[in-house]
Structure formats: C-alpha cells, structure tokens
Structure 1
Amino acid sequence: MTADQKVLSESTSSAAPSALATRSVKEAAAFLFDQLVGVAQRHQPEIAPVLRGFASSAGLPPALLGRALQAQGIWFQLLSIAEQASAMRRRRTIERAKGRDELLGSFAHVLADAAKAGVTADEIRAQLKSLRIRPVITAHPTEAKRVTVLEKNRKIYLLLKDLESSRWTDRERAARIGAVGDQIELLWLTGELHLEKPTVEHEVAWGLHFFAENLFDLAPEMLASFESALAAHYPNERFDITPFFQFGSWIGGDRDGNPFVTNAVTRETMVVNALASLDYYRQRILDLARVLSISERSATIPAEFRAALEAELAQVEDAARIRTRNQGEAFRQYLTCVLRKLDETILTTKGEGRGKARYANADELIRDLRALEQALTESRSPSLANDMVRPVRRAVEIFRFSTVRLDLRENTTRTNNALRDIYRIKTGKDAPDVDSPEWQAWLIAELAQPRNGLPLTGLAPESQDTLDMFALVADMRSRLDREAFGSFILSMTHSVADVLGAYVLAKHGGLYLDDAGLELCTLPIVPLFETIPDLRAAPVIMRELLRVPVVRRSTRWQGNVQEVMIGYSDSNKDGGFMSSNWELAKAQSKLTRLGEELGVAIAFFHGRGGSVSRGGAPTGHAIAAQPAGSIRGRFRVTEQGEVVSFKYANRGTASYQLELLASSVFAHALKSEREDALVPRAEFDDALEALSGASLAAYGKFIADPDLVAYFQAASPLEEISLLNIGSRPARRFGARSLADLRAIPWVFAWAQNRHAITGWYGVGSGLASFIEVRGERGLQLLHRMFEDSRLFRLILDEVEKTLAMVDLSIARQYASLVADEAVRKKIFSAIEAEYHLTCESVLRITGGGEIGARFTDYQARLAHRLATINEVNREQVELLRLFRTTEEEALKEEYKSALLLSISCIAAGLGATG
C-alpha cells in the first residue's frame, strides 16, 4: 500500500515480540499488517506486492482487482482495531499512573471537578432526579460491514488485547499469534458485501448483536461506576441512582420512507427485542442459582425472605422437587422459582404460554430481585448482594422486557393523508388544505370530541395502516412492557397542525388515558424539525402547540417534559455546515427559554449521524458546546451504522463510550449555566448570525445550480451506492429523482467517496471572508476571540478543518473527469476549487495554524496511516465507475460492479464514516 505499508511491513516480522502492552499504534498495526500479507501470500500471491506497496493495482483484471480492494478494506479494519486497542491501553495507563479522577470522560473526573468547585450533594441529587440519557440506534444504511465481519473483528481485538500480557510462554504466545492469523484468514475468505439487500429482520438482528455482545453487561456496570465515583467524592452522602441510562431504537419502527416497515414487522420486532432481554435475564439468573449455594446452616435467612420464598413455591407446580433438590438452600430455591416464572414469560412472549405463573411485567421481576438483594444484605453478605444480584436487577431496570424503547417514526405526508381520509369519511367532503385555518380548527374540534369507540370504516389501505400503527402501541404495551415504546417521531413537521394531527391519530388508535379520548395522550408525540426554515419556525410552532390543553395535559403526565427532535443531516443538506450549526444552536436556545417561560421542560432529541456534516463530532466536545441549560440531564441522540459498531463492538471501547456520554451529559447539567464559555454574548451571536447568512448565501447559490445534480451523479458513485445493499430503506423517500428528495445519507456518502466532502465545509470560507471584508481588522480580532472563547464557533472550525484535511482536489478532479459535459464540469468544479482554497485560507487566518489539520496531531496521525491507500483506491474507483457505466457485456459488467462496490466499502472503512 505504497510508502506507509512499506514502513509497516519492514517494522515487524510475523513473530510478535514478547508483549504488545507497550507498543504504539504503528507497531500493533504492523503486526496485524504482516499477518494480513501472509494470508494474501498464501491465497492470492499476486496481491501481496500490491499490499506491500511494491506494485500497483492498476491494470489488474476485475476479479483480481476486487481481491486487492478487499484486502485493502481488511487492512483498514485491522488498523481501526489496533487504534482502539491502543486507546484502551492509553486510558488504563492514565488511570494506573494518575488515578481515575484524571481520566477524561469518566464520572470520577466530573465529580472530582464538581467537589472542588463546591457543588453540593443536594445539587447532585437535584440533577440526578432529571437525568435521562438515551442513545437511539437507527436503521439508517451507513454500515458497510456485515455482522459476521464484525464478529471476526471483535475476536481479533480480543486476541490483540490478550497478547498485551507478558504472562504467556513462547508456545502460548505463538498459539495466540496463530489465532490472529486464522481470524484474518477467515476475513479474507468471508464475502465483504451483502449479496442481497438486508431485510428489516436482518437489521433487527444486527442491532441486537451489540446488546448480546456487550451492552446488556456494560450498562449496569456504568451505573456502578457512577455509584463508586459518588461514594469517593461525596463519602458521607446517600444518593438514589435510578436507571437513567436506557437505549432506544428505530429499527423496525422507522416507517419514514421505508415501505418494508409494516405493522406486522414492528410487532415481530417487539417480540424479538423482548426475547433478547428475557433470554439474557434467564442466563444471568441461572448463573446466580448455580453460585448462590448458601446453606441455612451457614447463614441466617431473614423471616421476611422465608415468607417470600413460601409464596413463590406456592405458585409453581414442582415445589416439592425444588425443596428436595436444593434442601436447606433458600436462595437457590427462590431463584429456581424465579426461573420457572421467567420460562413461562418467555413462552408467553412467543405465543406458546401454558397458563402457568409468569411475570406480567418487568416491575415484578425487579421486585423479586430486590427481595433477594435485601435478604443477602440482612444475611450479612452485602457484597454478594451488590456484586452479583444488583447488576442483574439494574439490567432489568434498564432493559426491562423490551431491550430498547422502540420509537415509531412517520412523515407528515403519510399522517396528513390518513387524516384527510378520516375527514372525508366523517364529513362526506374533501378535506381543506392542511395549511388552512379550517384544517387546524377541524383538528382541534376532533380532539375535543369524545371517541365513540367504533372503528372507522372505509379508510384507504394506507390510511388504515397508519391508524393501526397507533393501535399497535396499546396492544404491545399490554403484552410486553409498559415502556416498550419510546415516542412517536413526526418527520417533516412544518406546522402546529401537523403535530395536532398526530394527536388525533393517536386518539383514534386508542392511546389516550381515558376511553373517551379527552384527557391526555400516553405516547409522547415528538415533532422533528429538520430544515433551516423549520428550525427557525420551531419556537413559534411550539409556543402555539403548548397552549393546546390536551398537549399540556399530556406533557404534564409525561413528567412535564415536551421533547423536540432537531435534525442535523437535513439542515446541513439544506443550508450548509455553518448555517446548520448556528440555526440548531439558536433553535435550542429559543426553545429552552420558551420552556422556562411556559413552565415546561423542553428536552432535545439530537438527530446526529456519523460524519461531521451530519452532526458527528467528538462526544464530549459536542455536548459541552450545547447552549447553556439546553440539556439539564435530558439527552437523546441517534447513533447509526458505523458509529454503533465503532462504539459498541468491543467491550473496552463500549464501556468507555457509555461512561463518556453519560458523564458528559451530567457535566453539562452541572456546569453549563455557570460557565463563561456558554454565557450568551450578543457580540458573538451577532457575528455568528452574519457568518451564517453569508455562508448560507454561498452554499445556497451552489446547490441551486441546475447543473449540480448532473455533476454530482456523474462525478460520484451516488447511484452505485444504492447497489451496496447496506440498508432496507430506499435512498429517496418517494422515489423522485430530485436533489430535494435525496436523503441526507447518500448525499454525504457520495461527496465523501469522491473526496470533495463539500458537506462539511462548503460556504464556510465565503462566510468568514465576507465577515472579515465587511468588518476589517476589528472583525478579524472578533473571530480570534470567538475561536478562543466560543465553544460553538470553536467546534465548527475544528470540524471544518478536519474535513478539509480529507479533501484532495487532485483526486476530486479525476472524479470530475467523469462528467461528460465539459462546460458543466468546469463550472461546478471551479466553484468547488475556489471555495476550498478560500475556506483553507480563512480558517488558517483565524486559527493561526500553519497548514490544515496540523493542530490535530492524533487525527493527522490517523489520516497518515490511511490516506496513501485511500488515494490509491479512489483512483481505482474512478476507472471502475467509467468501465461499469460504459461496459455492455453483462458478465464483465458484473465483475466491474463487484470491484466497484468493494472500492466503496474500502474507502468508507478508511475514512471511518459513510453517511
């Protein structure tokens, strides 16, 4: 792989040194690279010189080129594994040398700072009461790796971690090195690409993979870490830590533009999710029953627990056998009874219940586990209660009988169509325009009328399907768990009427607390504001919405919280990076103040993606830059595709990422309204408004060019990305071919592949240059101060600069050569080239840096390991696009397609993000 791989291949041999514990990323990567080359040498010797950088892949036959691309993609996976292992070693080194208080991203660090700053225990308790954190796993198609590949990556990570130990003999070490080679060989022999488009069921299994591997265990451990940090820094205080950290999901519930998510699919998803958690609890309780072999001759069993045990034995059929088999072992007898009820719960969830005693809900299992904890504590074994039983009980509190809180999502086009149908049936007339006062008046009247309980008849199939979706919630809540659903997300919310319409549908679906449907809605209705105009309109919409009595009653019942979702992806596609970030910040600030004025907490659900242009940014920095008071302990965020696998595929990384997210949210809640860096400054806000306006004008002019779509389709693998089969959802919501209807994910994905990456920087240079031109030296000095003192502005410039470091105009020009119309090619590419140079110059002028990316040494090192190979693959991809699009011979075209898709997957792995 050119010069970088030459260095790697020369820096190590296949026999790894005695330990990897002190090795750098480069050394660990070199070890893995050498193993990969060895595999390639055995299976495809022609590829080995290409990997080592001694030969070019240019001119290889399509099939062989595909193998080379697959090998390069595997190399990026191995490099990422080496980096994750190194980061984990670095964190452990810091903790050993300086203590956990010095480890950034830990609860210990946050609470150490809080104690030093004089934050009282009462203040901590107050924040704990409102702490609610929920990462939400989505089914957005941004993960190019199959589950079987993820599993092999994890095994390599564990083996690499195992090799850090110095305890192995040479024989044992050689066996582990051989095992690493075996897993890499399996990667080589495993198809990288999905041969068929995944179904929603496949996506559900993909999401649950991370829970089974890590999250079921790690989430309770994270709560224990918080508890330990509180005890260390507030030693004489008592805190009640509730299960504030839970997981949400859109997989199987996100219907927005995905015709494959039906009510039947959602129902089946709920059952599969429930069984995942129930099976986990069964295994953990079985483990407890095996180890808690406490004899009544050795411990005093509390009388209250004995009574509880007798009550449990009275519910099971084989009580006598349980008494005999575990004679004198009350805790084992108790856990056996718990297992009997859990087994019946599992069968009932599958629809195979036998009518025996079971758990009606998670609260009953939590109650039984609490009784066991208390009994062990009273039996003078508090450590057994804390270390063995409490983690299981906390797992049930977090995951309940559903694993995740499933959100339902639909767009206003579908909901308004269903409502028009209802209007037609009820009035016999065509519905008025959805933007008219008459329409909103009808919706309010519908909310004020009692339900007669009779089903609506004569609805069109799509409308009935939408209505049945709401009815499904009530049914599955009663069958599985009261917290099985999170909320209803209304995409493309443009008005108050859009949201009121969702309340009307929920009413007809039986989701109100009273049968008449007049009191309140039990399913949170969450408007999603995605575009720049909708973000600007959000405060006005929410003010009017929160004046509607049924909405206010509903928010009070839901903890006096109204959640609002804000979209990073579409606002960026709509307005560019600078304008999107500023409009998102403004909307949050205004909505937070509105909530304070109206006496209702506005909680934000952040619709972020993995790439910078879709809101992806370092977790701690991104949260710290949120407007003061906008979080207050309530934080929901989407996580998808490669972000999920990066964060949660490996245990060490997953543990760190969970605590980093939770501690960052808690730190913001404690500090944001005290920090100077988040105090609103009129001067800074005025500057950001001006920067946003100028940036938006430049970006808007660019995307409004009528030739941009033709350029984009020709100069990127936009259309070919849809052949990757990485998600069940179509790339366009309604099948149109316009830029406006193209989803944000392929928009970002394709611009990243062709190394233009405009979604993370275009317009920023124009905004900065215009500001300096208008305001002169004083304006430049203001931007310098903002760079130092404004977290939001600093975050924007940091992420822009990182994106610019990935841009390569020479490679981008090669992609542009695919545009047949020379005039279009020159016009669009010249605009991109000019804005790129202007952005680089303007950013460096403000940051004081010598070259783009130089401030980020770790980031630059990461890129340095990858860019030579990515560049080579980019050049191959350009030629593959040309050949794939022009070849007519079917068999040869298929070979080019396979190699092309592998190149897309390889570049995505190298960049670390797709959409």
Structure 2
Amino acid sequence: MTELQAERRLEQALSVVDVSDGAPSGERIAAILYQLLLEVVQRHHPEIAPVLSGETVLQNAAPEVLSRVFQAHGIWFQLLSIVEQDAAMGERRRTERELGEQAVPGTFANVIAKAAKLGVPAADIAEKLGRTRVRPVITAHPTEAKRVTVLEKHRRIYRLLVELEQPRWTGRERSGIIDQLRDEIELLWMTGELRLEKPSVEQEIAWGLHFFHETLFEGVPELLKKFDRALKRFYPSENFALTQFFQFGSWIGGDRDGNPFVTNKVTRRALRENAKASLRFYEQRLFNLMKSLSISERALPPPSGFREALNRALSDSGDGAGIALRNPGEPYRQFLYCAHAKVKATLALYEGERTPGPHYISADDLISDLAVTEQALAESGSVGLAQDLVRPVRFAVEAFRFRTQRLDLRENTTKLTSTLQALWRAMHTEADGEPPAVESDEWKAWILAELARPRIGPPVYRALPPEAEETLGMFKLARDRDEEFDREAFGSFVLSMTRSAADVLGAYLLAKEADLYHDATRVEACTLSITPLFETITDLRAAPQIMRELLSLPLVRRSARMQGGVQEVMIGYSDSNKDGGFLSSNWELAKAQDKLAKIGAEAGIPISFFHGRGGSVSRGGAPTAQAIAAQPAGSIQGRLRVTEQGEVVSFKYANRGTAAFQMEMLGSSVFEHTLTLERAAPALRAEFEEAMEALSGASHAAYANFINHPDLLTYFQSASPLDEISMLNIGSRPARRFGARTLSDLRAIPWVFAWAQNRHVITGWYGVGSGIASFLDVRKERGLTLLKRMFAESDLFRMIVGEVEKTLGMVDLDIAREYAGLVYDDDVRETIFGMIEAEYRLTRANILKITGEEEIAQRFPAYRSRLETRLKTINKVNREQVELLRNFRASTNELSKEAFKSNLLLSINCISSGLGATG
C-alpha cells in the first residue's frame, strides 16, 4: 500500500465521523485508529503494512520484520481495547440520557430505585449503609505485561477519543485531534514494548500510585456524591448519614510471600510513598480551593464559630499578620492558606525535611478544618459552594487520609513457622533440644501458653537469627505506625498457606513479641488484624473447623471486637482452581463461605470475606456484578475486600470514566447483595446444593486424574511457553514460591498464563464435561431437567456455565495440537493431548445440552464479536510462536538465540493483549 492510498483510506474513515446525531460508533472510531496505525506503519516500515492490512501473508520473515509484525498486531489489540472501553462508556451515557440514570445497571441509582419500588424501608437502607465497607486491594502480581509509559500513552489516546466525540468541534479542530491521535500512536510504535529489566518493588509502588494520580483521587469522592444523589432522589424525605464505605488497599511493598525483594526497608518506603501521594493531592486541591474561595467578609460575613477557628489558625501559624495582610478581608482564603501551609509542612516531614510552622498530626485534624469551612459556608447561605467545592475535598481526605491506601502485610506459614521455631530456641537452652513438631499438640500448647503469659518490657531471651529478626521486624513496623504513619496506614496481616489454628495463633504470638497488643501485659487483644488465607481445596474444606476453633478463643474474640467487630477470612480463587479445577473450585469456595458465615453468626463474630481474585476466569475474574450476585446469601453483609491484580488494574482504573463506573458497579453490587440476602427458598437451595456436590465431585475427580498424570509436567513445559514466560520482566516476584521445580510449587499465575498462550486454556473448563456427564449418567433426563432449572435460577451455576462458555471460545484444538508437536515423546504427547481433546468435546457437548443453544456462548454476542475480531490475528501469532519456541529451544548460537528470544517475548505480549489477559 502506498502512502497516498493510506491517506485516502484515512480520509474515507474521517468522512464518517459525523457527530451531529450523537457520538460516532465504536466501529467508526476503530476504523479511524486502524487507518492511523496503518499510516504510521507505512511511514516507518512499509514492508509490513500489507501484512497488517491482510493483503499478504507473512512467510519466512527475517527476525526484525517479524518483531515489527508482532508489535503492530499488539498495538492494534491495545487500540481495540481502548475503543471498546470508550464505546461502553458511550453506551452507558446514551442509556442515561434516554432513560435516566436509574436505567443503567451497576449504578447506585439503579439499586436504590429498585429498593424504593419494592418498598424497602429507609431505616433498613440506613442500617445497611452504616456497615457497608468495600475495599479493592491493588496487588503487584506479575500479570501486567504493559509498561507504565505505555499505559500513559493509552490514557492520552482514550482522552483524545472522548474529545473527538464532542459535537462542538469544527472540521479544522477535529482534524487537529486526529493529528494528535496519530502522534500518540506513532509514539506508541516507537516505544519499547518489553521491559529490559525486571521491575523493582519501588517501581511497582510507583505503578500502583499512578492510578490514584490519574483517576482514583478524584473518582472516590465523586462515588460518594453519586450515592448521596441517588438516596436523595428516591428517598427525598430522609436524611442518610454517609460514611466513607469505599477505600482502597494495597499489597505492593507489603506482600513478601515468596518475594525476597520485599523487606522491612521496602515496606517502610511504600508507607512513605503512599502518604506523600495523598498529601501532594491535598496540597493541590487546597491551593485550588484557596484560589476559588475569594469571598469577601463584607459580601458574606462568616459565622462566629468560623471566626474563632480562623483566629486560632492564624495564631498557630506563626505568621498570622502576614497571612491576613496577603488576603485582606477574605477569611476563607486566610483559613485555607493556614491549612495549605500545614499540609506542605506535613509533606515535608514525610520527605525527611523540617519546615518552620505547624504541621498536621493526624488526617482527622485536616478533616476537621475542612468540615469547619464547609459548615461555615452552609450556615452563611452558600450551601452550593459548601457541597460542590469543599465537601469533595473533605470526602477525599476521609477516604485517603495520610496513607492513600491501606497496606496489607502478607507472609506464608513456612516463614512464620521458621521464625517461631527460632523464637522457641531463643527462649530455651540447648539442653531442651529442638522445638516440638509443628503439627503436634505440644507445639500448639507452647504457642497458647506464650500467648497467655503476661509480658512487660523488652524480651529477655537470646537474639534471633537475621531472617527471623526480619520477619519479626515486619510486625514491629506495624507497631510503629501511630508514631510514623497514619493510624490506618496498615490494613491487616494476611497469612498465606494457613493449614491449622496453630498457624494463625503463631501470627498472634509474633504480634505479641512486637508489642502489637493494646494492654500493657500483652494478653488481652491484638491491635493488628490477622487474616488467615485459605487457598487450596483441602484448605477451604478445613477452614470452617479452623475458624470455629479460633473464634472459641477469648483472645481472638476480643481482638475481633476491638478491630471493628468482625473477623476477616481470605479465600483464594487461583490456587483452589489450580488444585481442583474450575467447577470444583467455585463450589468449594461457595460452600466454605456459607459454612464460615454460619460459624461467625453462631460465635457472635461476623466473618467478612477477602476475595483473592485474579484477572482471568480461572483465577476468579468473572464480571463484577455477576460474581457478587453469585456469592452465597448472607456471605457479604455489606463487607467485601477483593484483590485487583495486574492487567485488571489498568483495565478498570486507567481511564476516568471507566474507573468511575467500575467503582460504582463494585459498590452498588455489594449494597444490592446486602439488601437481598435471602434470595432462594430453603428447599430449592437444598436440591441445588445436592446437585452441585455431585457435579463438583465428579469434575474434581476428572481434573485430579489429569493434573496428577506423571507425564503432565513434561507435556506442559514442552507444549507451552511456561519457562519462557519467566523471562518476561513483568513483576518483581519469582514464578515459584520456594524455587523448586515441581507442578505443586508453581504459582497459579504462570500456570494460567501458559495454558492460555498455547490455547488449551484448560484452567477454565477441564473437568466440567466429565462432571456433567457423570451426573447425567446417573440421573438421566430428570438430571438434565434439574440442571436446566439450575441454569435458569441459580446465580452461581449460571455464572459457572457462562464463564466456561467464554473460555471454550478461546480454545483452538488445531493450534493446541501444533503446540503439542513440541513434545518430543510421542507417547506423552498423544496421551496428554488425547485426554484434553476428549474432555474438551465432552464439555462442549454437555454445556450445549444445558443452555439449549446451537453454538457455545451464543448468548454473549458482544463477547463473541470481540473475540472473533481478534482470533484471526491471534491464531497467526500462535503459529509463529510455536516455531519460535522450537527454534529458541534448539538454538545453540547465543546471537540467534537472543533474536528468537526477543520475538518470542513479543509474541507472548501480543497474544495476551489479544486475549485481554495474561494470568
């Protein structure tokens, strides 16, 4: 294609951008971006433009040409995703314009309107609002294959698309926006896709805070405003007390489970960076507010209470006369000047500097100053200014305080046990021998005895080894929070690989050694929330008994009551799926939640759940509203924490409109679930439970037979880019927790990532077909009738079937067979691939029996269209990747091996961009 042809195609694309009847369609915008990309490619590498446009097929290309082809395809997938986000936002806006905000699913207006229509009393709304707590937790799990600099360019492209859709522009101005889009795409083309080095934890901290600066600092206060507006509209005679129910958490810099690069020094730095991010935001907002509120006291005399507060602020500032002189007759500006100066001084402290004048001791003091300003304006008659200008800033400080996000600490039981054993040795002499076996009653008895023993002053035992001292130092860092950081700087301590009550009690003991108890003798209650994490199927089944035992202990009960009256439990989707398969994992998670919720109710200590979800379906990444609706009745009760990992963070929070909707959908879904706790009749629920138990058991058996096959690891390593994925510098954490080379030790993320790359995608469907087949073999037509009824009436079963359908759409057995060709052992290849092929066909056939459809995922036309748009290109890249894997593994020449490696990693990036997820 010549440059002239490219220009003509662009002109044709531009000619359809007519916004006189509303925003241009997603297809039109996609056509524009495609032509702009084609133009950029034509200018820089004309030889690959025909490949991108589909006019020629790539054959025997040189490595440098192939790398550019992968880059072009990858950029196109990224641009498509941006268009789809923009189009979805446009569709929501059109619905709101035509039918009203209450007609948009996922909004507070939609939920509150339905509640009002059903006659839900205002008192019920108020009671549930008072205990609603929603906390997304951003993690640095290595599933984000895009660099931050690329994300920033995506953000600018999104904003330019929003501008392009505005009807006010002239043709000349619209052409200018098109030019800017072309420039951003060209910059994207010339920006390296791959990280040359693994990111440090410090870089991951900056990556996480990037989203607050771009969208979340502004978005969270707006979220509260939307909820307030919905309540006032549908319950106009009521006055609800809004609380900061939506706050963010983080694992970045605090999650040391299997990551040797997260140290106490790094955690301390993360806390400081979190604090500085929020303070910089307040500094700017207060400066803007100070500029805006140039209110003369002659035009609007302030109330006497505000005048007293101003006099105190001027007196405390050390420069009261100077401030009054700079802002004569403008009391609000004077007051905000004092607040702004105190925020700057507070920020300087976190930056290691000290400035003259007072600083804020606590975020509560800044909240108080903003409340004083807001109240004064309202009392003086300027309610609009109070609500529109001051209240959003107060809401922001209430949400983010001096910490931006609550940082969780996480470590596994292996490390904690090692530290406890070191503690035992330090307390005993060599003559006492070695510590009791960890699984023994003697070990638990020792922990319980130490927890009950009053402890005043510093320890009197011998020094601990450096590694144990580092682990204990993590708890000591949490102890120092009130002296150095915001009182809410930390969230909880998450204990990975929890297998027993003794494991959890060991964490309580280390907290005691770090003086994290509220009483002087350190026996009453722990001030740090200890959250056990149950990950595998075995762990989930053991969780109810473990929590029953823990909640029977006065120490745990007192601690839970002091920490808000609830006991948090984290459940893992990734490892339970890797351990038991998709259907069994979802059922075991639902059962565990149901049992744990009942145990909490019996103990008088409600259990709240922290959901360890990933981005892909097999790691719990179902659509937000659907996933929450499918949770067992009574398991949420207004409280939900959920991890937001890797590419999910950039997908949800990189753009302002998308971020606003994603947060509102999460918050409204939790509130709606809480309003409708009992949705199923007990008899109907029992019948469904019995069927799910049978389905899960048979599915788990088939899946276990597959993953326990002695040749599976050999097949998996050869027929996928499992080992090569580790060369992608997409996270600071190693792929294996302890460095071993076994399937059981492999983390869930690379497990899912590699099965997606080779188009087997077994993590989202394997075992489901066998489970259904076994059920129907026993129950015949009666069983099929029941499954169809469950599909219609059970949120959980319908979600499982739907996500299996979507996953099956990504499977391509022809391409999978080409990956299988990388396995040199014929018997291994034919055996394992034969199992996969048979289970795939069984799953596909049985899913269609239940849905009654002719095609898989027929009821998801938008998803099918999105996938089909990409699959033709993804398939080509998959086939190129097979050859790259073969050549890379066979190459002995370092120069050629490096060339193959670069293209191989680009192919991994390209496929993950096309599929929309990595792990």
Matched residue, 1:296: 297
Q: CA deviation at 1:476?
A: 2.8
Aligned equivalents of 1:364 and 1:518: distance in 2?
Answer: 32
Matched residue, 2:687: 683
Q: CA deviation at 1:15?
A: 5.8
Superposed, 1:708-787 pairs within 5 Å as 708-787=712-791
Q: CA deviation at 1:27?
A: 2.1
Matched residue, 1:489: 494
Opposite residue 564 of structure 2, the aligned amino acid is: G
Aligned equivalents of 1:515 and 1:893: distance in 2?
Answer: 63
Matched residue, 1:660: 665
Q: Deviations over 1:18-69 (max 9, x none)?
A: 3394433222211111100000000001110110011223311111101110
Aligned equivalents of 1:678 and 1:631: distance in 2?
Answer: 19
Q: CA deviation at 1:653?
A: 0.5
Matched residue, 1:264: 265
Q: 1:717 to 1:198 in 2, by over 3 A?
A: same
Aligned equivalents of 1:354 and 1:94: distance in 2?
Answer: 52
Superposed, 1:639-658 pairs within 5 Å as 639-658=644-663
Opposite residue 715 of structure 1, the aligned amino acid is: A
Opposite residue 304 of structure 1, the aligned amino acid is: G
Q: Deviations over 1:452-479 (max 9, x none)?
A: 3224532111110000000001213321
Matched residue, 1:283: 284
Contact 2:526–2:559, Cα closer than 8 Å, also in 1: yes
Query: In structure 1, the residue corresponding to 2:750 is in which secondary structure?
Result: helix
Query: In structure 1, the residue corresponding to 2:493 is in which secondary structure?
Result: strand
1:849 to 2:853 alignment: yes
Opposite residue 683 of structure 1, the aligned amino acid is: E
Opposite residue 448 of structure 1, the aligned amino acid is: A
Query: In structure 2, the residue corresponding to 1:193 is in which secondary structure?
Result: coil
Query: In structure 1, the residue corresponding to 2:611 is in which secondary structure?
Result: strand
Superposed, 1:173-184 pairs within 5 Å as 173-184=174-185
Q: CA deviation at 1:9?
A: 7.2
Matched residue, 1:390: 391
Contact 1:137–1:251, Cα closer than 8 Å, also in 2: yes
Aligned equivalents of 2:527 and 2:828: distance in 1?
Answer: 54
Matched residue, 1:838: 842
Matched residue, 1:274: 275
Structure 1 spans left out of the alignment, 5+ residues:
none
Contact 1:718–1:747, Cα closer than 8 Å, also in 2: yes
Q: 1:306 to 1:765 in 2, by over 3 A?
A: same
Contact 2:275–2:403, Cα closer than 8 Å, also in 1: yes
Matched residue, 1:67: 68
Query: In structure 2, the residue corresponding to 1:13 is in which secondary structure?
Result: helix
Aligned equivalents of 2:807 and 2:344: distance in 1?
Answer: 52
Q: CA deviation at 1:681?
A: 1.5
Contact 1:135–1:638, Cα closer than 8 Å, also in 2: yes
Contact 1:139–1:727, Cα closer than 8 Å, also in 2: yes
Opposite residue 520 of structure 1, the aligned amino acid is: A
Opposite residue 867 of structure 1, the aligned amino acid is: L
Contact 1:19–1:163, Cα closer than 8 Å, also in 2: no
Given candidates 856, 864, 875, the residue that maps to 1:860 is 864
Moved more, 53-62 or 898-907: 53-62
Contact 1:12–1:27, Cα closer than 8 Å, also in 2: no
Matched residue, 2:18: 18
Aligned equivalents of 1:715 and 1:58: distance in 2?
Answer: 23
Query: In structure 2, the residue corresponding to 1:564 is in which secondary structure?
Result: strand
Q: CA deviation at 1:679?
A: 7.9
Matched residue, 1:49: 50
Matched residue, 1:345: 346
Contact 2:17–2:28, Cα closer than 8 Å, also in 1: no
Aligned equivalents of 1:483 and 1:44: distance in 2?
Answer: 53
Aligned equivalents of 1:458 and 1:275: distance in 2?
Answer: 35
Query: In structure 2, the residue corresponding to 1:451 is in which secondary structure?
Result: coil
Q: CA deviation at 1:11?
A: 11
Q: Deviations over 1:62-90 (max 9, x none)?
A: 11101110110000010001111110110
Contact 2:17–2:24, Cα closer than 8 Å, also in 1: no
1:90 to 2:91 alignment: yes
Query: In structure 2, the residue corresponding to 1:46 is in which secondary structure?
Result: helix
Contact 1:11–1:27, Cα closer than 8 Å, also in 2: no
Q: CA deviation at 1:269?
A: 0.6
Q: Deviations over 1:99-158 (max 9, x none)?
A: 011110000000000001110000001101110000000010000011110110111111
* TM-score, normalised relative to structure 1: 0.98
Opposite residue 894 of structure 2, the aligned amino acid is: E
Moved more, 659-668 or 782-791: 782-791
Opposite residue 207 of structure 1, the aligned amino acid is: G
Aligned equivalents of 1:539 and 1:137: distance in 2?
Answer: 27
Aligned sequence identity (%): 62
Matched residue, 2:409: 408
Q: Deviations over 1:855-892 (max 9, x none)?
A: 11010011111111111111111111111111111111
Opposite residue 858 of structure 1, the aligned amino acid is: A
Moved more, 313-322 or 440-449: 313-322
Q: CA deviation at 1:315?
A: 1.1
Superposed, 1:549-560 pairs within 5 Å as 549-560=554-565
Query: In structure 2, the residue corresponding to 1:688 is in which secondary structure?
Result: helix
Q: 1:22 to 1:282 in 2, by over 3 A?
A: closer
Aligned equivalents of 1:846 and 1:896: distance in 2?
Answer: 45
Q: Number of aligned pairs?
A: 909
Q: Deviations over 1:309-358 (max 9, x none)?
A: 01001111221111111000000000010011111111111221246311
Opposite residue 495 of structure 1, the aligned amino acid is: S
Superposed, 1:210-609 pairs within 5 Å as 210-354=211-355, 356-428=357-429, 429-455=433-459, 456-609=461-614
Contact 1:9–1:52, Cα closer than 8 Å, also in 2: no
Q: CA deviation at 1:680?
A: 6.2
Q: CA deviation at 1:560?
A: 1.4
Q: CA deviation at 1:10?
A: 9.6
Query: In structure 1, the residue corresponding to 2:410 is in which secondary structure?
Result: strand
Aligned equivalents of 1:294 and 1:117: distance in 2?
Answer: 46
Q: Deviations over 1:526-571 (max 9, x none)?
A: 0000000110010000000011111110001112100000000000
Opposite residue 309 of structure 1, the aligned amino acid is: L
Opposite residue 55 of structure 1, the aligned amino acid is: T
1:699 to 2:700 alignment: no
Query: In structure 2, the residue corresponding to 1:639 is in which secondary structure?
Result: strand
Q: CA deviation at 1:171?
A: 1.1
* TM-score, normalised relative to structure 2: 0.98
Moved more, 477-486 or 577-586: 477-486
Opposite residue 733 of structure 2, the aligned amino acid is: R
Aligned equivalents of 2:463 and 2:304: distance in 1?
Answer: 62
Contact 1:477–1:485, Cα closer than 8 Å, also in 2: no
Q: Deviations over 1:213-245 (max 9, x none)?
A: 000000000000000000000000010110010
Contact 2:253–2:270, Cα closer than 8 Å, also in 1: yes
Query: In structure 1, the residue corresponding to 2:46 is in which secondary structure?
Result: coil
Matched residue, 1:805: 809
Aligned equivalents of 1:276 and 1:793: distance in 2?
Answer: 43
Aligned equivalents of 2:145 and 2:14: distance in 1?
Answer: 29
Contact 2:13–2:28, Cα closer than 8 Å, also in 1: no
Aligned equivalents of 2:97 and 2:863: distance in 1?
Answer: 25
Moved more, 421-430 or 583-592: 421-430
Q: CA deviation at 1:676?
A: 2.9
Moved more, 48-57 or 186-195: 48-57
RMSD in angstroms over aligned alpha carbons? 1.5
Aligned equivalents of 1:170 and 1:145: distance in 2?
Answer: 34
Q: CA deviation at 1:849?
A: 0.9
Q: CA deviation at 1:297?
A: 0.9
Q: CA deviation at 1:12?
A: 4.6
